[in-house]
Amino acid sequence: MYDAIVIGAGAAGLMAAAEAARAGRSVLLLEKMEKAGRKIRITGKGRCNLTNARPAEEFMDHVRANADFFNVAFSEFNNRATIRFFERLGVKLDIERGERVFPHSGKAWDIANALTEYCEEHGVEIMYHTRVTEILTLGGRVYGVKYINRRGFERKEECENVIVATGGVSYPSTGSTGDGYTFADAMGHTIEPVRPALTPLRTSHPQREYLNGLLLKNVGAKLYVDNELRQEEFGELGFSERGIEGAVALRVSRAAVDALIDQKRVKLVLDLKPALDADTLRERIRREMADMQPEEFFAELLRKLVPKNLVVPLAKEVDFHSKSYISKLTDTEIERLIKILKGMVFPITDYAPFEYAVVTAGGVSCDEVNRYTMESVKVKGLYFAGEVLDIDADTGGYNLQVAFSTGRLAGQLKK
Ligand SMILES: Cc1cc2nc3c(=O)[nH]c(=O)nc-3n(C[C@H](O)[C@H](O)[C@H](O)COP(=O)(O)OP(=O)(O)OC[C@H]3O[C@@H](n4cnc5c(N)ncnc54)[C@H](O)[C@@H]3O)c2cc1C
């Protein structure tokens, strides 16, 4: 009989299994996919932003739900400890802009492989293509799991400690399909409503189809909910068939999604020229116009100010045809152009589904989990770790750290 069964070989499950095995426990790790860390391998655009090196207090500001709860796991195994941990495993790391930490190789699989090998070295037994279907309990205690093995047969394994590290429901193709919520619900746990977070936002802007493929490197963005300023961000933002994405859009998406669910009016107002105030922008436009021939098109003036995809949408918003001569441009139209460049409004009417969401907000209520051990307060021997819990954070390496810290603590099995 094993001392612990871990369900899910993602960031949290691998860390939990390794920690339990390191302390001399016999551990069985059950993973329904063909290999470990499928999601880790696609993180950070294939480079894996594994944590963020900011000081602890600043780090906590980026945890959006249940930061107090998470703080205990984080103090036991924080971002510095994570950096040391991977460097000891031989993975050289770099700290990049925004204190984001990546493997020096630029390869996310180095992180997934290092964790998997670390588990194997400590004797964790890993079974792939093995889907847990039920957690067995009796009299408020865990006594094992039922699973379907790689040959399709149902099996039972008895064990007094089960760690649920099944992730959320985002990017389900990586194996995270929300099974942990079903298990937790069946054992009487409250599941906070799950919704996509860090997900592209959909706009009803009439010219949105012109914008597909547009990437804006330095943009100011203000999120308004029912006309009240809710969040202000600066950085990169892009448009694709998935919606408005990029770091800025993802950062505001959590508040936007919640507001949309509450049926509030949401808009994103973009400052396309954040480095210039209105007066400087006016001077710049006048200067550009002075250098142009009167019979040059408005489109050519716009091209000097913004990327190509924005030319037609801007011309339409200014209500001055892109193929009209700049000599015909009135002061009123120039003022309108300045206003739009400093605040182009994108009504947000929807958001991309879980298939495109980087993380899942909501999940197993932290109120029913002991923050010092990650053990359920309802069922003895049942532990939770990672995204299955109602904890989510900003982009920047924070979510993997949540998985590593909670996984590490759960793997200590109450000490
Ligand atoms: C595209 C993308 C990019 C991201 N980039 C970053 C980044 O750069 N930095 C960052 O901090 N975060 C990033 N994240 C978020 C981060 O990857 C997750 O928060 C983190 O991986 C969660 O880890 P986890 O172990 O809790 O869950 P998961 O990684 O989802 O692992 C859960 C595991 O459980 C297995 N499983 C599920 N149900 C069962 C079952 N019934 N039986 C057996 N096994 C089961 C799954 O197959 C899976 O392997 C990104 C996410 C995505 C989708």
| Domains of the chain listed by start with CATH number | 4-196+358-410 (3.50.50.60), 200-352 (no CATH)
Query: What was the pLDDT predicted at 50?
Result: 98
Ligand 1 in reach of 111 Cβ (< 6 A): no
Q: Give residue 36 CA to ligand 1 midpoint distance, Å.
A: 10
Residue 120 phi/psi, 5° resolution? Answer: -60, -40
The string of pLDDT tens digits covering residues 3-48 is 999 999 999 999 999 999 999 999 999 999 999 999 999 999 999 9
Residue 214 pLDDT level (bands cut at 50, 70, 90): very high
d(CA 383, CA 393): 21
DSSP H or E segment with residue 190 = none
390 lines ligand 1 (CB under 6 A): no
CB-side neighbour CA atoms (13 Å) of 283: 4
Alpha-carbon distance of 256 to 349, in angstroms, equals: 9
Paired sense of beta strands 51-52 and 100-103, if any: antiparallel
Does ligand 1 lie within 6 Å of residue 13's CB atom? yes
pLDDT exceeds cutoff 90 at 414: no
Spatial separation of the C-alpha atoms in residues 297 and 161, rounded to whole Å = 72
pLDDT higher than threshold 80 for residue 90: yes
Query: Best substitution site from 253, 399, 404, 409 to test ligand 1's pocket, by max atoms within 8 Å of Cβ?
Result: 399
Mean pLDDT to the nearest integer, 269-297: 96
Average pLDDT, stretch 71-79? 98
Backbone angles phi, psi at 287, to 5 degrees: -65, -45
**Ligand 1 centre from 306 Cα, in Å?**
38
Question: Is the CB of 51 within 6 Å of ligand 1?
Answer: no
Cα distance between residue 35 and residue 198, in whole Å: 25
Q: Of 45, 27, 60, 123, which Cα lies nearest the Cα of 401?
A: 60
Q: Please check the confidence at residue 174 and state whether its pLDDT lies above 80.
A: yes
- The answer to whether 84 and 10 have CB atoms below 8 angstroms apart is no
Is residue 415 scored above 70 in pLDDT?
A: no
Residue whose CB lies within 8 A of the most ligand 1 atoms, among 59, 62, 358, for a mutation test: 358
Query: How far is residue 60 from each of residues 45, 69, 185, 251, 336, measured CA to CA in Å?
Result: 24, 11, 28, 15, 41
Radius of gyration from C-alpha coordinates of the chain = 25
Q: What is the pLDDT of residue 384?
A: 98
Best CA proximity match to 269, nearest among 365, 211, 347: 347
The side-by-side arrangement of strands in the sheet containing 27-30 is 125-127, 27-30, 4-7, 162-164, 382-384
The alpha carbon of 41 and the centre of ligand 1 are apart by a number of angstroms equal to 9
Q: Which atom of ligand 1 is nearest to the CA of 168?
A: 30
> How many Cα atoms within 13 Å fall on the side-chain side of residue 44?
26
Nearest CA to ligand 1 atom 27: 167
The tokens describing 231, both together, are: 């969040």
Q: Tell me, using a 6 A CB cutoff, whether residue 31 lines ligand 1.
A: yes
Can you tell me the distance from the alpha carbon of 413 to that of 403, in angstroms, rounded to the nearest whole number?
16
Distances from the Cα of 302 to the Cα of 67, 144, 270, 338, 413, angstroms? 45, 66, 17, 11, 62
Pocket test for ligand 1, best of 369, 400, 405, 408 (most atoms within 8 A of CB): 400
Distance in Å, CA 10 to ligand 1 centroid: 5
Query: What average pLDDT score do residues 125-150 get?
Result: 98
The reply to whether ligand 1 has any atom less than 6 angstroms from the CB of 52 is no
Query: Which DSSP string corresponds to 214-242?
Result: -EEEEEEEEEEETTEEEEEEEEEEEEETT
Cα 355 to ligand 1 centre (Å):
13
* Centre of ligand 1 from the C-alpha of residue 167, in Å: 5
Chain mean pLDDT for the chain = 97
Written as one letter, the residue type at 97 is R
The reply to whether ligand 1 has any atom less than 6 angstroms from the CB of 9 is yes
* Phi, psi at 244, each rounded to 5°: -85, 120
Q: What's the CA gap between 393 and 197, in Å, rounded?
A: 9
Burial 162-196 (b: 16+ CB within 10 A, else e): bbbbbbbbbbeebbbbbbbbebbeebebebbebbb
Q: What's the gap in Å between 359 CA and the centre of ligand 1?
A: 8
Task: Indicate whether residue 203 lines ligand 1 (CB < 6 A).
Answer: no
Nearest atom in ligand 1 to the alpha carbon of residue 8 is: 34
Å from CA of 379 to ligand 1 middle: 24
Q: Which residue's CA lies nearest to atom 29 of ligand 1?
A: 10
Ligand 1 binding pocket includes 170 (Cβ within 6 Å): yes
Give CA–CA dist 223/42, Å, rounded: 28
| DSSP per residue, 348-389 | EEEE--GGG-SEEEEEE-GGGB-TTT-BBSSSBTEEE-GGGB
The pair of structure tokens assigned to 381 is 């021997």
Q: What percent of the chain has pLDDT over 70?
A: 100
Q: Is the CB of 399 under 6 A from ligand 1?
A: yes
